[in-house]
Structure formats: C-alpha cells, structure tokens
Amino acid sequence: MAMSSGNESGSPMSEINVTPLVDVMLVLLIIFMITAPLMSHRITVKLPTANPKTADEAPKTEPIDLAIKDDGNMYLNDSQQPITDTELKSKFVVFASMTPQPELQIRAAKDTEFKTVRKVLGEAKDSGMVHVGFMTTGKE
C-alpha cells in the first residue's frame, strides 16, 4: 500500500498556502519603504508654527440687551423709556454695521405674545444682525 497524503476521498485540498501571500506582502513592504521618502515635497516652504496657548485677542463688544414686557413695550439696554419699532429698526441697522457685531440678547417676559418676539427677530434679521440669543432664568 502506498502512502497517501491524508486526502483519502479525492476531494480538493481546503488548506490555504500562506507562503505566497507572505512573499507578496514582503515585496510590497519593501516597495513602500523605498518609495515613501521619495514622496516628500520638492518645493520647501517655511510653515508657521502653531501655538495654541496664545489666542488672538478679538475686541470685545458689549451685548445689546432688549427687554420685552408682556404688554409689548420694549426697552433697549435697560433704559427707562420704551423704544418704538422704528427706533429699534434704526438701532439694529447701526448695530449690524459694527465690527465685530455685538450680540443681541432678548429678554422676553413669560407672558409676552410670540408674535411680538417673532417681529423683533424678523427686524433683527432684516437689518443684518447675526448673533441673537434668548435670556432665560433657571427653574422657578
């Protein structure tokens, strides 16, 4: 009786020969090791160094405070006199042209109708105001 290779049934071998795979991977590794230094830039440029600890100081602008009472009266920057819609629109145009643009902080009373707040937001947007925020209090 002759020695068989362990495959008595005559079916194809199901084992994978990894030797050719290792050979191909080693050749690719050598190729990449040789070509990687050649991929550097031919034109040298002196790049700026980043220093994250120093930040450019942007000029700070005070936020604009707009208080809206529940009766619809609006007060700009804690003034005692209510401001009219036309005065507010002209102020928005002036504030929108400032560089950097100040933030508009709206403090609306709890019972203020939303249409009043929506109208103020529309006027601010139409005049070019970008930074708008709503001021609230914590839990009561």
What pLDDT does residue 25 have? 96
Predicted pLDDT of residue 60: 79
Higher pLDDT, 50 or 22: 22
pLDDT tens-place string over residues 6-20:
556 677 777 888 899
Q: Name which of 29-38, 47-56, 124-133 the model is least confident about.
A: 47-56
Instruction: Inform me whether the pLDDT recorded for 91 exceeds 60.
Output: yes
Which candidate, 6, 134, 18, 19, places its Cα nearest to that of 68? Answer: 134
110-135 pLDDT, tens digit each: 888 889 989 999 999 999 999 888 88
Q: Which candidate, 99, 106, 102, places its Cα nearest to that of 131?
A: 102
pLDDT at residue 92, as a whole number? 92
Q: What is the pLDDT of residue 124?
A: 92
Taking all residues of the chain, what is their mean pLDDT, rounded to a whole number? 84
Judged on CB neighbours under 10 Å (0-12, 13-18, 19+), 28 is: exposed
As a whole-number percent, the residues of the chain with pLDDT over 70 amount to: 86
